[in-house]
């Protein structure tokens, strides 16, 4: 294929990417939307909880949502980003309703769920499959636009960038993208490139994320020289289903919002020893409490007790979770659900301004891949779909008709394969993948120490060297691209964690058990050294 120039190249099909595409397509400009599996494979699609927003003004206020977000974020949220998201929430939820999203209602209007760290009921949801309903509606809307071209089964390998001669700054011009079916890498050139590639959960052995969450956009942006921040703040969801076949199925925090209580095997409660909000405390507190209790007792899990609620209520409010648990022999109306924490959300990411533009011009990052400053050291539950919508829209406003006369598309080079050959050693890829995920879980997990982080740093340096040798020798495959990306992300998490010598939010260090506001009430920025 020869190069084709688009106005906008969107990489990723979660809520942020789809909402950007819909908003920009209204202008008539051309959009190429690429996604590495199907349009349905994303963290957004799996979201159970919903969208946090002030939707009942008789019980809730913007200030209350702002305060809850700031409290969860442990002192380092950016107030401007928090206000932007909170204040745009109600309007955007209404826009979704107009697009056709079927949120759950009761006799008083929208039914609002409650989750950890929220002082009010304010989560708009569609049963316990909010992401599914949201993505279904957005995909239908995207498909109505003739100026949006969709390519599935394509994985972006690297960004195409150039230097602007006038300002000496970098700008983005699209991406090299691997067609997973043919193995061919094509270049897709665009006036604006939008990373909407989601999170990084697959860096860890246990995660609530789907297989696609390999930090591709984050790794590509970092390799291209974009600023990245706060990668030490990986959020662990306190409750994923503990069962050998469950593959980290999430047990939504909304269950605790309906009064679910965390217990030990003995039936004893424990959260009262950790926080006044008990089982509904912010996620960092709950995940750390569970980790501590499991270490103390030697048990493999703790339990979430929902038996105070009737079977009818549970089946109506949580149909998907009820069914899934039942398929593993757990009737949650009768027995407690065995749960463990799992890597869930990347609070840091590619640094963006209020329009979602990164430190590389014409490169945008929206949704989980971005660092907007909203989440601080611990994201408040259900603030992420909200952030994806807000910044998807902001980025579209900025990107429309956004073209600079220095943008030189004739300069882009073909993808070169050099002397690469077909690998007969794919086991190297699967081994390195497994090794990274295991040491990240053991050494850079919920509780960290200087010693464990140093070990992780040594390991990642070795594995990175092996991956680099392999990468330049053989034709690339989707697995290799993802492995290279999770290795880059792992290194960013480790380096950021080493540099923060305190405990805050989801960064918990045994060597520095307290917050140190004098030195660390700030973000951790990383930019790739120019070699």
Using CA atoms, how far apart are residues 481 and 459, in angstroms rounded to an integer?
Answer: 19
Rounded least distance, CB 75 to ligand SIN, Å: 20
The DSSP bridge pattern shows strands 5-11 and 31-34 to be parallel
Provide the minimum distance between the beta carbon of 339 and ligand SIN in the complex, in angstroms, as a whole number: 11
Q: Are 173 and 361 in contact (CB under 8 A)?
A: no
For the CB of residue 303, give the shortest distance to ligand SIN in the complex, in Å: 17
* Strand order from edge to edge, sheet including 349-351: 370-371, 349-351, 228-229, 525-526
- Residue number with CB closer to ligand SIN (174 or 505): 505
Residue closer to ligand SIN, measured from CB, 344 or 459: 344
DSSP 8-class letter at 421: B
* Cα within 13 Å of Cα(350), Cβ side: 34
Q: How far is the CB of 251 from ligand SIN (least distance, A)?
A: 8
Which DSSP string corresponds to 282-327?
-HHHHHHHHHHHHHHH--S-EEEE-TTS-HHHHHHH-HHHHHHHHH
Q: How far is the CB of 289 from ligand SIN (least distance, A)?
A: 16
Alpha-carbon distance of 6 to 151, in angstroms, equals 13
CA distance 323 to 315: 8
DSSP state of 177: E
**Radius of gyration in angstroms for the set of CA atoms belonging to the chain, rounded to a whole number:** 22
Which pairs count as long-range contacts for 453-460, CB under 8 Å and 24+ apart, including other chains?
453/494, 453/497, 453/498, 454/498, 456/490, 456/494, 457/494, 457/495, 457/498, 459/435, 460/436, 460/487, 460/490, 460/491, 460/494
Question: Which one, 47 or 460, has the nearer CB to ligand SIN?
Answer: 47
What are the φ and ψ backbone dihedral angles of 343, each rounded to 5 degrees?
A: -60, 135
Nearer to ligand SIN among residue 48 and residue 279 (C-beta): 48
Nearer to ligand SIN, 68 or 253 (CB): 253
Active site residue ranges: 283
Nearer to ligand SIN, 174 or 338 (CB): 338
CB atoms within 10 A of CB 398: 17
Question: How far apart (Å, rounded) are the C-alpha atoms in residues 384 and 131?
Answer: 11
Dist CA 506 CA 498 (whole Å): 14
Least Å from the CB of residue 68 to ligand SIN: 13
Interacting residue ranges for ligand SIN, rule: CB under 6 A: 48-49, 252-254, 381-382, 384
Residue number with the smallest Cβ distance to ligand SIN: 49
The least CB distance from residue 417 to ligand SIN, in Å, is 40
Nearest Cα to 368, choosing from 211, 190, 150, 213? 213
């Amino acid at each position: 294929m020869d190069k084709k120039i688009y106005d906008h190249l969107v990489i990723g099909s979660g809520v942020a990417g789809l909402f950007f595409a819909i908003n920009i397509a209204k202008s008539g400009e051309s959009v190429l939307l690429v996604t590495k599996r199907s349009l349905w494979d994303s963290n957004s699609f799996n979201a159970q909880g919903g969208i946090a927003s002030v939707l009942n003004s008789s019980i809730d206020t913007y200030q209350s949502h702002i305060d809850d977000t700031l409290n969860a974020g442990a002192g380092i949220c950016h107030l401007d980003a928090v206000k932007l998201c909170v204040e745009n929430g109600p309007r955007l939820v209404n826009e979704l309703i107009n697009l056709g999203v079927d949120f759950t209602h009761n006799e008083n209007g929208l039914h609002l769920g409650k989750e950890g760290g929220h002082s009010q009921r304010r989560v708009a949801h569609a049963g316990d499959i909010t992401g599914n309903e949201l993505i279904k509606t957005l995909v239908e809307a995207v498909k109505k636009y003739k100026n949006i071209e969709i390519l599935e089964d394509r994985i972006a390998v690297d960004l195409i960038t150039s230097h602007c001669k006038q300002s000496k700054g970098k700008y983005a011009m699209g991406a090299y993208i691997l067609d997973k079916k043919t193995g061919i890498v094509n270049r897709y050139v665009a006036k604006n490139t939008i990373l909407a590639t989601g999170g990084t959960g697959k860096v860890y052995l246990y995660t609530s994320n789907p297989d696609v969450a390999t930090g591709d956009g984050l790794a590509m942006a970092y390799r291209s020289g974009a600023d990245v921040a706060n990668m030490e703040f990986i959020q662990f969801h306190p409750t994923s289903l503990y069962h050998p076949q469950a593959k980290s199925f999430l047990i939504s925090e909304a269950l605790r919002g309906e009064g679910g209580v965390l217990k030990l095997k003995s039936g004893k409660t424990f959260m009262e020893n950790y926080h006044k909000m008990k089982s509904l405390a912010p996620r960092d507190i709950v995940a750390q409490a569970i980790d501590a209790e499991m270490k103390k007792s030697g048990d493999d899990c703790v339990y979430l007790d929902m038996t105070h609620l009737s079977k009818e209520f549970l089946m109506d409010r949580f149909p998907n979770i009820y069914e899934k648990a039942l398929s593993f022999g757990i009737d949650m109306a009768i027995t407690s659900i065995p749960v463990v924490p799992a890597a869930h959300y990347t609070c840091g990411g590619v640094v963006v301004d209020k329009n979602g533009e990164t430190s590389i011009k014409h490169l945008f990052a929206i949704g989980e891949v971005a660092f907007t400053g909203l989440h601080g050291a611990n994201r408040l539950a259900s603030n992420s779909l909200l952030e994806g919508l807000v910044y998807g829209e902001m980025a579209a406003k900025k990107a429309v008709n956004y073209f600079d006369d220095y943008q030189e598309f004739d300069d882009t080079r073909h993808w070169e394969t050099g002397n690469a050959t077909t690998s007969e050693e794919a086991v190297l890829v699967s081994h390195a993948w497994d090794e990274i995920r295991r040491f990240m879980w053991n050494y850079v997990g919920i509780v960290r120490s200087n010693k464990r982080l140093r070990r992780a740093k040594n390991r990642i340096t070795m594995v990175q060297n092996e991956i680099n040798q392999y990468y330049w020798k053989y034709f690339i495959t989707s697995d290799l691209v993802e492995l290279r990306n999770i290795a880059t992300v792992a290194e960013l998490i480790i380096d950021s964690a080493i540099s923060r010598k305190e405990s805050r939010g989801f960064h918990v260090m045994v060597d520095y058990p307290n917050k140190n506001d004098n030195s660390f009430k700030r973000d951790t920025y990383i930019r790739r050294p120019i070699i």
